[in-house]
Amino acid sequence: MSSINTNERRTSRMHLRSATRRQNTPSALARRTRILEARRTNLANKIRELETDLRQQRRALDTLTIEVDQALSRREDDKERYETLREQKEQLKITIRDNFRQSDLGMEYRELKQRYDELVKNGGIDTDNIEKRLHELGYTFKELVKTNIAAVKAEIEIAREIYKTASEHHHSLYQGQQYIIGVISDLERKLEQALKSDRALNQARGKRQRRTTHKRGKKGKNTRKKKTIKTRKIYYII
């Protein structure tokens, strides 16, 4: 029984050595070398393509970043113009109101308003049509404000549209910028993976070359010895 197991182990080792010899035959080594070189070539082409794409995308990003900054500056200027006009409108309304109060119509309004409040408080009857006159004076004031702020109000509408357009333009450019940043990040990740694969293939290729060089070295050494011995024999014969 022990003899049978020993023979089986011996047979297994012989098959393993035979398979290893087949894998290390010159034709098999050459085939693996060609496959390895083909992979390295394809990987090198991929790396060049990724590097080219990265350069192009980075140049595009540089250009677009300038445009985004310019659009942002323009948007902020347009926003400041819009807000300034709105403040001017409010200040103009305050000025118109103050001037109206100091005018004859303004003083009439205050007097009538005081009489009307007392009338309502005491439950009296508005025989002098005070309420009607107050409405007339109030309408006059509103028309005065409307007329005097019409010009600046029109400027505000124009400024608002300009600011809106500038904001949309900046937002569009900013989205494009963020998209390119994402593309660059993805390309950098792919390039890093490709470079790692390339280094791994180079290491594998280096190991094969070292093994091949070692074997050739032995053969060459023996050859040189034979030549030396042959030369010595010839020398003594001569």
Residue 234 banded pLDDT, cuts 50, 70, 90: very low
Residue 218 banded pLDDT, cuts 50, 70, 90: very low
pLDDT tens profile 10-24? 555 555 555 555 555
Nearest-5° Cα angle at 77, 153 to 93: 25
Helical packing angle, 26-102 and 130-148, nearest 10°: 130
Q: Could you list the residue range(s) of the whole structural domain that residue 10 is in?
A: 2-172
63, pLDDT greater than 50:
yes
CA dihedral 24, 30, 32, 38 (to 10 degrees): 170
- Does 51 fall in a domain? yes
- Does 179 fall in a domain? no
Predicted local distance difference test score (pLDDT) of residue 90: 96
Predicted local distance difference test score (pLDDT) of residue 232: 43
Number of H helices, E strands in the chain: 5, 0
Predicted local distance difference test score (pLDDT) of residue 88: 97
Predicted local distance difference test score (pLDDT) of residue 13: 55
Please tell me the distance from the alpha carbon of residue 186 to that of residue 181, in angstroms, as a whole number: 9
Three-state secondary structure readout of 149-193: CHHHHHHHHHHHHHHHHHHHHHHHHHHHHHHHHHHHHHHHHHHHH
Q: Compute the Cα dihedral for 80, 82, 85, 89 and give only its sign.
A: negative
Helical packing angle, 130-148 and 104-122, nearest 10°: 140
Total tally of structural domains belonging to the chain: 1
User: What are the tokens at 118?
Assistant: 């007392």
Please tell me the distance from the alpha carbon of residue 103 to that of residue 106, in angstroms, as a whole number: 5
Predicted local distance difference test score (pLDDT) of residue 223: 46
- Does 54 fall in a domain? yes
pLDDT tens profile 150-159? 999 999 999 9
User: What are the tokens at 9?
Assistant: 């182990």
- Does 166 fall in a domain? yes
Please tell me the distance from the alpha carbon of residue 107 to that of residue 138, in angstroms, as a whole number: 12
Q: What is the mean pLDDT of residues 61-67?
A: 97
Residue 196 carries which side chain, given as an amino acid letter? K
Query: Nearest-CA neighbor of 66 among 74, 55, 56, 76?
Result: 74
- Does 218 fall in a domain? no
User: What are the tokens at 153?
Assistant: 């109000």
User: What are the tokens at 72?
Assistant: 């942002």
CB-CB contact of 115 with 130 (8 Å): yes
pLDDT tens profile 101-158? 999 999 999 999 999 999 899 888 888 899 999 999 999 999 999 999 999 999 999 9
